[in-house]
Chains A and B, each alone.
Chain A
Amino acid sequence: MNGLERYLGTVAGRAVDDLARTPILMQFAAEFSGSDYGRFAADHCVLVEANVRCAEVFGIDQLSCISDPYRETHGFGGAVTFVADGPPRSTQPLADTKDLDTLAVPDPMGSARMLDRVRAVERYARDHAGTYSLLGWVEGPAAQAANLRGVITFMFDLMDDPEYAGALMDVCVETGIAFARAQVAAGADTIGIGDAIASQIDPRTYEALIQPREKRLVQAVRASGAFAKLHICGNITHLLPGIADLGVDIVDVDHMVDLAAVRAAVGERVVITGNLDPVSVVRNGTPASIASGVLDAYERAGNPYMVNAGCEIPAGTPAENLAALCRPLPYRA
């Protein structure tokens, strides 16, 4: 099986040869390929080359477009700057005003940073369609709202003015849908939705304000013909009932969450990926401890399952450790 066959088979709930490997690569890929994070985030050619190289060297089954959270924010009018050895930085267009009319309206094919991601998908599709799964990416409603307002300010919005927080997230969802559709049209078979901040929110607020908007985004992604994957960094145990109701195909799980609890919540259709501790196990561990961690994770998650760390493979991870994470592990019925 090639990477795409393995990936599609897993999502379909079929038996595959080995477990699919879908680690999240950003700064690691940039540096492994001899570049830096700033160029990786700024130029899709660098991002594509870095991810393809890692996929070929480590046996990864998916090519990803993830770089940083500020693609849409740039489209909304944020000023983004790049640094060589860290994630890009961005201003927050709504830091000092709640007026949604002041926001620029992002056009995925017109905003430079959004278009750059679409171009990455196009390039993957041109050179690697049929070989690897192609992962597009959008920000979830809460994460994008926080990018526009500032994290703390948006959290106050959720408490003080839920109506406004909802209206802001509605704007973010519409942009997310348009951006997802552009990436699917370019060739992405899966759209990841990153809504990191949601793990910091109480279940009642999540279910009332965030989950319905994530669900709308998921439905739009699936209606466009792609699989929907949810990625929320941090502990999502308290959100599992709402997440189970989203209708996603794949859920990434961070290291502090019990995979058996996730499986019990999401049922047997949804693919679980994760959840080795990115720092203490993947970056600082040994190939042996990583191999053992993958086995444990598979044991707890059961099928359908894909190998992944709980979050991004950190910069500075020894290559042999990523190789251990991606070492082929036979599927077990």
Chain B
Amino acid sequence: MSVLRELSERLQRGQAKEVEALVQQALDEGETPQRILEDGLMQGMGVIGERFKANEVFVPEVLIAARAMHAGIAVLEPHLVSAGVKARGKVVLGTVKGDLHDIGKNLVRMMMEAKGLAVIDLGVDVSAERFVRAATEHDADIVACSALLTTTMTEMRHVVEAAQAQGLRGRVCIMVGGAPVTDAFREAIGADLYAPDASSAADAALAHCAGRAS
């Protein structure tokens, strides 16, 4: 088995120490940082994302796979920097004001990172102003807002309005998601993208960033 394939499989099983060692082994064997990232780490996490979407694996398996990916990236990061490998896009992410739920938001972060996107995670209970400030500060491509409660999803409208007020609309894409959120709601509040699950959110975000880059 090639080292990259083994890397992918160990990552899928959440074996962080083995992933760390295999990243180092791949570097020692002369693999490029980009190939290790894309064909090893991201490939493995991509498989987990698809299996999660198909209800073949569940949240704990995604969590340990993501932890293994982070362990691998920690080894790889200096090499990625010196090789000039850049993120495929930048996303400011958070759960909206008044809402403390973070599982869905964390899954979105993991899936987006697995697609090579840089995620600035603002955490939970994030005000519209903080979203917009972070988007400006980090020159983000996307602001992604999560909500689990019907009482807090309405905060997403404030994020759209705050982005509008700061002149960011057209420059920054507003993505919304969470259990009670629908595409009809997205349309009603004037947001740009809706995704029904974490994996789709990552796909949509990547597609958006790729579209901007091309």
List residues of A whose CB falls within 8 A of some B CB: 27, 83, 85-87, 89, 151-152, 155-156, 158-160, 200-202, 205, 235, 237-238, 278-280, 283, 314-316
* Contact indicator B103/A200 (Cβ below 8 Å): yes
List residues of B whose CB falls within 8 A of some A CB: 14, 55, 57-61, 63-64, 67, 98-100, 102-103, 106, 149-152, 179-180, 182
- Pick the contact of A205 from B55, B60, B99, B149 — CB < 8 Å? B60
* Contact indicator A27/B151 (Cβ below 8 Å): yes
Complexed CA–CA distance, A152 and B152 (Å): 22
- Pick the contact of A314 from B60, B98, B180 — CB < 8 Å? B180
**Leading 4 A-B pairs by shortest Cβ distance:** A314-B150, A200-B59, A279-B180, A155-B60
With A159-B63, A316-B151 given, name 16 new contacts (CB 8 A). Answer: A86-B99, A87-B149, A151-B103, A152-B63, A152-B102, A155-B59, A156-B63, A159-B61, A159-B64, A201-B58, A201-B60, A202-B60, A279-B180, A283-B150, A314-B150, A314-B151
* Contact indicator A202/B180 (Cβ below 8 Å): no
B residues in contact with A202, CB < 8 Å:
57-58, 60-61
Asked whether A316 and B150 contact (CB < 8 A) given A202-B61, A280-B182, the answer is yes
Mostly, the A contact residues are: helix
* Contact indicator A86/B57 (Cβ below 8 Å): no
10 contacts between A and B (CB under 8 A): A86-B98, A152-B106, A155-B60, A159-B14, A159-B63, A200-B103, A201-B60, A205-B60, A238-B58, A316-B150
- Smallest Cβ distance from A309 to chain B, in angstroms? 12
- Smallest Cβ distance from A263 to chain B, in angstroms? 20
A residues in contact with B179, CB < 8 Å:
279
* Contact indicator A156/B64 (Cβ below 8 Å): yes
Asked whether A152 and B103 contact (CB < 8 A) given A202-B58, A280-B182, the answer is yes
- Smallest Cβ distance from A93 to chain B, in angstroms? 17
A residues in contact with B98, CB < 8 Å:
83, 85-86
Complexed CA–CA distance, A195 and B147 (Å): 21
- Smallest Cβ distance from A36 to chain B, in angstroms? 11
Complexed CA–CA distance, A156 and B149 (Å): 25
B residues in contact with A27, CB < 8 Å:
151
A residues in contact with B180, CB < 8 Å:
278-279, 314
* Contact indicator A238/B55 (Cβ below 8 Å): yes
- Pick the contact of B60 from A89, A159, A278, A280 — CB < 8 Å? A159
B residues in contact with A316, CB < 8 Å:
150-151
- Smallest Cβ distance from B152 to chain A, in angstroms? 7
B residues in contact with A85, CB < 8 Å:
98, 151
Residue of A nearest to B100 (CB): A89
Residue of A nearest to B61 (CB): A202
- Smallest Cβ distance from B40 to chain A, in angstroms? 21
- Smallest Cβ distance from A206 to chain B, in angstroms? 9
Q: Which of B60, B98, B100 has the most CB of A within 10 A?
A: B60
Complexed CA–CA distance, A158 and B64 (Å): 11
- Smallest Cβ distance from B122 to chain A, in angstroms? 17
* Contact indicator B150/A279 (Cβ below 8 Å): yes
* Contact indicator A315/B150 (Cβ below 8 Å): yes
A residues in contact with B59, CB < 8 Å:
155, 200-201
Residue of B nearest to A202 (CB): B58
Asked whether A155 and B151 contact (CB < 8 A) given A86-B98, A238-B55, A279-B180, the answer is no
B residues in contact with A279, CB < 8 Å:
150, 179-180, 182
B residues in contact with A87, CB < 8 Å:
149
Asked whether A200 and B58 contact (CB < 8 A) given A85-B151, A159-B14, A314-B150, the answer is yes
- Smallest Cβ distance from B135 to chain A, in angstroms? 25
Complexed CA–CA distance, A155 and B99 (Å): 21
Complexed CA–CA distance, A205 and B182 (Å): 31
- Smallest Cβ distance from B11 to chain A, in angstroms? 14
- Smallest Cβ distance from B182 to chain A, in angstroms? 6
* Contact indicator A86/B152 (Cβ below 8 Å): yes
Residue of A nearest to B153 (CB): A279
A residues in contact with B106, CB < 8 Å:
152
Complexed CA–CA distance, A217 and B31 (Å): 54
Residue of B nearest to A154 (CB): B60
B residues in contact with A158, CB < 8 Å:
60
* Contact indicator B150/A156 (Cβ below 8 Å): no
Residue of B nearest to A203 (CB): B58
Complexed CA–CA distance, A155 and B14 (Å): 13
- Smallest Cβ distance from A208 to chain B, in angstroms? 12
- Smallest Cβ distance from B18 to chain A, in angstroms? 15
